Structures are given as structure tokens and as C-alpha cells.
Chains A and B, each alone.
Chain A
Amino acid sequence: MDFLGFIIILVKVLVVFAATLLTVLLMIYSERRVSAFMQGRLGPNRVGPQGLLQPIADGIKFLMKEDIIPAGVDKPIFILAPAILLIPALMTFAVIPFGSDIILFGRQIPLQVADVNVGILYVLALTSIGVYGIVLAGWSSNNKYSLLGGLRSSAQLISYELAMGLAVVSIILLSGSLKLNDIVADQQGYFFSWNIFKQPLAFIIFLVAVYAETNRLPFDLSEAEQELVGGYHTEYSSMKFAMFFMAEYANMVTAAALTVTLFFGGWDFPLVNEASLGIWGVVLSVLSFVLKMGFFLFLFIWVRWTFPRFRYDQLMKLGWKVLLPLALFNIFITAGYLTVKSLA
């Protein structure tokens, strides 16, 4: 790799990293604002214009707070757990294409940090690693509530990862590739070439599973504050707690981006050929990606402040008895359709 290529990748990494963290901050702000709006309140509106600097104030507060490590904890794991959760959450965004190719310095640069040929597997693998952070945090805290939170999280992961993976399989069958770039390219063109119209059932299964995967309501059993005090992060304080917080929101950002990539054509703007528009095509594609992602991020908050939490057995029942058979049925139909099509 030449020097310019190295610089370009470095810039892309920095931009994506900064953009993810910025979105996380915005999400923390909008979670509070949107929840307030839905409850007829105003929410934080004092720090900065419309309260936009509130998450920064919160961050400073977290940094200033005393970092308490309780006496009975398993120290190395206790310190490591937030990092295990946060790092994969930030790494996942690397394979997501967020715009059409840009031509700079006489070379074509894909707007994607790494075009891994097993892209979707990479995402699924990393989100699974993140759960270790939760389980280890619950275990090392030496607190029954934390342990219960971690336990619930692992049980939840097993029941939902499967349905989610199978929903993704039907998409992979359609695109014939694990590369996220190919999946986006497969959805180019007309409005109805988006996967949401081809695979509505897979979309619903994936969406439900994603909420369980990111530990958001209605599936936030691992941190059910009414039953478990705080769940796996009960014993954490200061910046360690903030890391859990950030990881939760970073996971949401990635999940929203993944939903857009898999089902809503990624950066595709319907009926427009981005490649023919030059630089404006790139701007349009990035903008359309951000808008779609914004909607799904809003949906995360919207759902959280609308639905009550599932009970533990209901969650298991939904995962194993409803979503899994549905996902298998969907794969069966998709595979059957593709076979018939190839024969005809």
C-alpha cells in the first residue's frame, strides 16, 4: 500500500470514529428530549442552544465523579468489562458502506472503512463479543442483581441471535454475497428493489431481534431497573458507567446503520443513479444514508417510550416459538423461490 492510500484510510477511520461518537452524543441528547416531548415535557434545554451541549456537560460530570471499585469485585475483569463492551460496539461500523464511491486524487475511494468479504459475519461476530462485556460485568461485580442482569443478557442473546442470523440469511440468499457492498448494490435502482419490499417478514424478524440485541426496550431485561436495581452496571460508577452508556448507544447506531444497509438500500436514493452525478451523487448518497439511519435511531427512542417491558418467559417464548420458526419458514420460501427461478 502506498503512502496516499494509507493516509486515505486513516482519514476514513478518523471520520467514521468521530461521526459515530458524535451520533452517540446526539442520541443521548435526543433520547432525553424525545422522551420528554412524548410525555408532554420539554427536557433539557438550558445548556447551549436548545440544550444541545447537555451530553457534553453530562460527560464532564461523569469524568469528575469518583470512580468507586467495590471491595468484593473481581478487579481485572471488573475493569476490563466496559472496554469489552465498548470496543466492539465502535468497531462494527467499519464495514458499513455509508455512501457511493468518491473520486479523489485520481482514484476511486469507497466510502467504507474496510470492505471485508465476510462483512455481515463480521458484524454478527462483533455484536456477540459485546455481550461478553455485559456477562463479565455482571459476574465480576459480586452482586446478585448484576449477575441476574448478565444472566438474562446471555439467555436473551442465545434466543435472538439465531432468529436474527436466519433473517439475515434470507437477504444473503437474495444478494448471493456476504459483502455489505454487494448487498447494497443488489438493492440499487427502483424503489421496490429495496429488500424491505422483497423480504418484509425478514425485516420484521430482524427489527425485533435487533431491539433484543441492543438491550433496548421492550427487551431491556438485563438492566430492568425496576427489578434489578440497575442490572449489570449496578456497581459501576464514573467513566466506567459512562462507557456502558456509550456502548449501548453505539450499538444502537450500528444496529440502525445495519438495518438501513440490509433492508433499505443502504446509501441508495431511489430512482437516482448516484455514480452519474459526480460529487453531488456522493453527497446525495451520504445524505440519504444519514436520513434513513436517523429515522431508525428515532424509532429506537420512539419504541422505548411507548412499549412496556417483556416478561422473561414471554421473551423466551417469542424468540424460540415465534421468531425462529418464522425465520426458518422465510428462508424456506426464499430458497424455494430462487430454485424455481433458476430452473425456469
Chain B
Amino acid sequence: MGIVTKSYEPTFWDKLYFPALVKGLMVTLRYFFKRKVTIQYPDQKHIPPDGYRGLHRLNKYDDGRIRCVACEMCSAACPADCIEIVPGPAPWEEGKERYPVKFEIDLLTCIFCGFCEMACPEEAIELTEIYDFSDYSRDDLLIDRDGLLEIYELTKNQNYYSRTEESKTSET
């Protein structure tokens, strides 16, 4: 059994209470005038930090060819098993011979772990910063190849949210 010793003996000022109460009031008053941390969501959008794992995209080369070679490494790596790929011969002359005919991700099954991104040898699949992609039906949350390529067009400058913010302010 240890002996309990009081580490702090209240002084006369502590026993008066009021100095401490005023100190407390000053703390809340300081916060009253401080800058607020609220982001008013639909009007202002939170910009996620680098490395945020949001909606997927399929990258393209500068000339418009799809980077993906349908090796299915991503669907093999996927712990949630949400990627479905059907490979086919690429329609373009030079470069890779395979490309995905069908590339479908079930966003409701996906856990956004980013393993597909790590597994990809061609840096074709990537997770973007987009976080607000809710929809009304399950079918709408199955994103196909063309949809993923469209996301690439939207996010290739890595500033999806700040750009929409700019376009909004220029409109008004």
C-alpha cells in the first residue's frame, strides 16, 4: 500500500474560486473571436491532403491511349474483389498489344485500400482526391471503363476541388 500524498495544496486564491472562473471565461471569450474551423460543405469544399484515397481513375498516355494492359494484377490484389476486367487486343498500332475491353469497379464493394494502385505495373489505376460521389441507385455506383477515363480527365491536374471552386467564383 502506497501512501497517498496531496501533490497540490490549494492556496487562498484558489479557494476564492472567482479568479479561476474569470480565467475560464477568458478562454471561451478568446475562442469566441477566433477564426472558425467550419467548412460550409456544399458551398466550400474540403480539399483532401496529398495521398488521399478517393474515387478511382484510369490513366491515359498523352496521345490518348489507355495505360492499362489488362494484366488483372489489380483485381488479384483487391481484397474486396470489386474489380472486373475483360482483356482484349488493343485497337492502336504501336505500343501495348492488350487493353481492357471491360474494366468495371463496384464502388459499393470497394474499401478504398489502394492495393490496386500499388499492384499496377503500368501506373494505370490510381485513386483520386474525389470524395463526394454518392448516388441514388446501386447501378449508378458501378463505374465502367469510360467512366474511369472521364475521371482521369477531371482530375489530371490534381486540383479537382480547387478548380471547381475557381470556376464557381468566376461565374458569380
Contacts and interface: CB of A to CB of B under 8 A. Distances in A.
B37 A37 contact: no
Contacts of A204: 18
A306 B37 CA distance: 19
Interface string B17-46: 010010011011101101011101000000
Contacts of B28: 38, 302, 305-306
Say whether chain B's binding surface is mostly helix, strand, loop, or mixed. Answer: helix
Interface in A31-86: 34, 37-42
A42 B38 CA distance: 6
A42 B39 CA distance: 9
B32 A37 contact: yes
Interface string B32-73: 101011101000000000000000000000000000000000
A41 B32 contact: no
B101 to A, nearest CB: 48
B25 A306 contact: yes
A37 B28 CA distance: 9
Contacts of A37: 31-32, 36
Nearest to B25: A306
A41 B24 contact: no
B31 A39 contact: yes
A204 B21 CA distance: 13
Interface in B138-156: none
Nearest to B27: A306
A302 B40 contact: no
A40 B36 contact: yes
A303 B40 contact: no
B34 A40 contact: yes
Interface residues of B, number: 14
Nearest to B33: A37
Contacts of B24: 306-307
A305 B27 CA distance: 11
Interface in A164-201: none
B21 A307 contact: yes
A206 to B, nearest CB: 14
A41 B38 contact: yes
Contacts of A39: 31
**Residue in A39, A204, A302, A306 whose Cβ sees the most chain B Cβ within 10 Å:** A306
A100 to B, nearest CB: 32
**Residue in B21, B29, B36 whose Cβ sees the most chain A Cβ within 10 Å:** B36
A39 B32 CA distance: 7
B31 A40 contact: yes
B134 to A, nearest CB: 21
A41 B37 CA distance: 6
Contacts of B31: 37-40
Nearest to A322: B17
A154 B37 CA distance: 41
Contacts of A42: 36, 38, 40
Nearest to A318: B17
A139 B108 CA distance: 51
A305 B30 CA distance: 13
B32 A34 contact: yes
A42 B21 CA distance: 25
Contacts of B29: 38, 302
Contacts of B34: 40
Contacts of B32: 34, 37-38
Contacts of A306: 24-25, 27-28
Nearest to A218: B21
B36 A303 contact: no
A303 B31 CA distance: 14
A314 to B, nearest CB: 11
Contacts of A303: 25
Interface in A296-332: 302-303, 305-307
Interface of B: 18, 21, 24-25, 27-29, 31-32, 34, 36-38, 40
Given A40-B31, A42-B36, A42-B38, 7 more contacts: A37-B31, A37-B32, A40-B34, A40-B36, A41-B38, A302-B25, A303-B25
Interface of A: 34, 37-42, 204, 302-303, 305-307
29 contacts: A34-B32, A37-B31, A37-B32, A37-B36, A38-B28, A38-B29, A38-B31, A38-B32, A39-B31, A40-B31, A40-B34, A40-B36, A40-B37, A40-B38, A41-B36, A41-B37, A41-B38, A42-B36, A42-B38, A42-B40, A204-B18, A302-B25, A302-B28, A302-B29, A303-B25, A305-B28, A306-B24, A306-B28, A307-B24
Top 7 A-B residue pairs of the complex, sorted by shortest distance between their CB atoms: A42-B38, A306-B28, A38-B28, A40-B37, A37-B32, A306-B24, A38-B31
